[in-house]
Amino acid sequence: MPLRFHSLDSDRVVVSNLVGEHLVLARAEFDEVVSAGTPSPETLSTMRARHMIRLPDETLPVELLAMKLRTQKRRLADMTSLHMFVVTLRCEHTCRYCQVSRQGTERGEYDMSQDTAEAALRHVFASPSPQLKIEFQGGESLLNFELIRWIVERAEEINELERRDLAFVIATNLALIDDEMLDFCEAHRIVLSTSLDGPEDLHDHNRRRPGQDSWQRAVDGIERVRDRLGTDYVSALMTTTEESLERPEAIIDSYVDLGLTGIFLRPISPYGFALRLRGGGQYDAKRWLEFYKRGLAHIIELNRAGTPITEIYAAIIAKKMFSNNDPAYVDLTSPAGIGIGGIVYNYDGSIYASDEGRMLAESDDQTFKLGTVDDSWTDIMSSNRLLSPLWESYTLSSPGCDQCAFEPWCGSDPTFHHATMGDFAGHKTFSAFCTRNMGIFTHLVELADSDPYARDLLWTWGQR
């Protein structure tokens, strides 16, 4: 049956099947397998169990593979579930890595209007997805809370007939949250997603605002939301900058101190302003990988010592390694998640295939602009502006990816490759996306192979 492999080091090889079940073999043993020699009975037995080989007339393994693949790709038929509304570009922060926000401007010019929001909601409900998540972004989204309130109420009104599984998230720095907003969030079960870069000095260095109190306000905000709405209603995201690279443990500990049970060790994105020298983005994927590995090691030790905390990127990949469930993470899926997984309605009514695509537009690259809210859903979804990047970047037909043992766990990121290489598929040998992910995949495989505790932990993360 179809299988692919990748050398871990001189002695070991990881083999994977069509749906991402994998097995680590000693190289000599692997050579026996691929040269039709005499592998050990244990190897043959495991390879049969993991649907890598079969007897010539066996049909069940093929049926099961098909079933697993179908399960993994099931959400494709549902179409877009994540709908991001950029309700304003205004922000009171001047973060060093920020790509889009506008400071000190008056209400109006950079705010989404009610008419635009109404038209965008028509798109949201035109998507056939049974699950709909509306995520409010900025700028600082709370600066246009009036519109958020209107959109939530209007969406709920529409949903009385539509009966979708409708959820709301506000991405916010929490600096401006007040009791009235909390009341509203509580009444409508809105999740708040905030930014927290780590310890106070690091966070405030990255995330500047008048008074230099961004960290304190974020921390207070997290506690307030948790007290009012419960732990499940607040999560934090961190962005890695040059200054973070030496401090993964301190960053993670700052999350633990706040009682947060998940941290997403994210690389900085190479888009928009961050590509310029404004700060923090000038490090390569290799250094980021070192940071990631150190951080993950710390997280595993914390768990081993009884403090449960999940690294969310590893958990997403573990889900693909150890189950057929789709983690529904738009940045690691193939076909890509642009447009068909998540879509962005900008403040001015333009529609982008991804958040990164919107940021590219800020530096005058309109490649991922699919149209405006005045176009029809069908036109947006069937336009070549969306379909070309989707099919050109599809991993099973991308050079490099098609042969890659990690293809079932990986995804395609046409926005990234377009931004960095001018090509939707990208040249994977030189792609930071590929270096980063391949580095993480091999690292996770080696961890699971060498440390039973880490393997059990990854397994557990993968089953959630």
Shortest Å, Cβ 438 to ligand SF4: 4
Among 322, 407, 414, 417, binds ligand SF4 (CB under 6 A): 407
Q: Is 48 in the site for other proteins (CB under 8 A)?
A: yes
Distance CA 314, CA 291 (A): 14
**Exposure string over 51-88, b if 16+ CB within 10 A, otherwise e:** bbbeeeeeeebeeebeebeeebeebeeebbbbbbbbbb
Tell whether the torsion through CA atoms of 72, 408, 83 and 387 is positive or negative: negative
Shortest Å, Cβ 401 to ligand SF4: 3
Distance CA 46, CA 23 (A): 8
Residue 49 interaction partner, one of other proteins, ligand SF4, none, beta carbon < 5-8 Å per kind: other proteins
Residue 428 interaction partner, one of ligand SF4, other proteins, none, beta carbon < 5-8 Å per kind: ligand SF4
Q: Is 406 in the site for ligand SF4 (CB under 6 A)?
A: yes
Nearest to ligand SF4 of 235, 437 (CB atom): 437
Among 7, 376, 403, 463, binds other proteins (CB under 8 A): 463
Q: Is 460 in the site for other proteins (CB under 8 A)?
A: yes
Distance CA 416, CA 419 (A): 5
- On whether the CB atoms of residues 18 and 65 are closer than 8 A, the answer is yes
Q: Is 404 in the site for ligand SF4 (CB under 6 A)?
A: yes
Shortest Å, Cβ 460 to other proteins: 5
Q: Which stretch binds ligand SF4 (CB under 6 A): 65-73, 106-114, 401-409, 416-424?
A: 401-409
Distance CA 80, CA 332 (A): 15
Nearest to ligand SF4 of 265, 434 (CB atom): 434
Shortest Å, Cβ 405 to other proteins: 17
Among 159, 323, 383, 435, binds other proteins (CB under 8 A): 323
Q: Is 21 in the site for other proteins (CB under 8 A)?
A: yes
Shortest Å, Cβ 441 to other proteins: 18
Write out the DSSP string of 26-55.
EHHHHHHHHTT----HHHHHHHHHTTS---
Q: Which stretch binds other proteins (CB under 8 A): 52-60, 169-177, 290-298, 304-312?
A: 52-60
Residue 437 interaction partner, one of other proteins, ligand SF4, none, beta carbon < 5-8 Å per kind: ligand SF4
Nearest to ligand SF4 of 401, 454 (CB atom): 401
Q: Is 261 in the site for other proteins (CB under 8 A)?
A: no
Q: Contact letters (x/-) for other proteins, 266-295, by CB under 8 A?
A: ------------------------------
Say how many Å lie between the first and final Cα of the chain, rounded.
Answer: 29
Distance CA 304, CA 242 (A): 29
Q: Which stretch binds ligand SF4 (CB under 6 A): 58-66, 72-80, 404-412, 455-463?
A: 404-412
**Count of residues binding ligand SF4 (CB under 6 A)?**
12
Distance CA 395, CA 401 (A): 5
Residue 463 interaction partner, one of other proteins, ligand SF4, none, beta carbon < 5-8 Å per kind: other proteins
Among 298, 358, 428, 443, binds ligand SF4 (CB under 6 A): 428
State the amino acid at position 233 in one-letter form.
Answer: Y
Distance CA 10, CA 20 (A): 22
CA distances from residue 378 to 124, 126, 323, 335 in whole angstroms, order as listed: 12, 9, 33, 19
Provide the 3-class DSSP secondary structure of residue 445.
helix
Q: 419: part of which helix (H) or strand (E)?
A: helix 414-421
* Cα 124 from chain centre: 20
Applying the rule CB under 8 A, the residues between 60 and 99 that interact with other proteins are 60, 63-64, 67-68
Q: 416: part of which helix (H) or strand (E)?
A: helix 414-421
Distance CA 190, CA 462 (A): 26
- On whether the CB atoms of residues 167 and 202 are closer than 8 A, the answer is no
Q: Which stretch binds ligand SF4 (CB under 6 A): 34-42, 188-196, 382-390, 406-414?
A: 406-414
By CB under 8 A, name the binding residues for other proteins: 21, 45-46, 48-50, 55, 58-60, 63-64, 67-68, 322-324, 456, 459-460, 463
By CB under 6 A, name the binding residues for ligand SF4: 395, 400-401, 404, 406-407, 410, 428, 433-434, 437-438
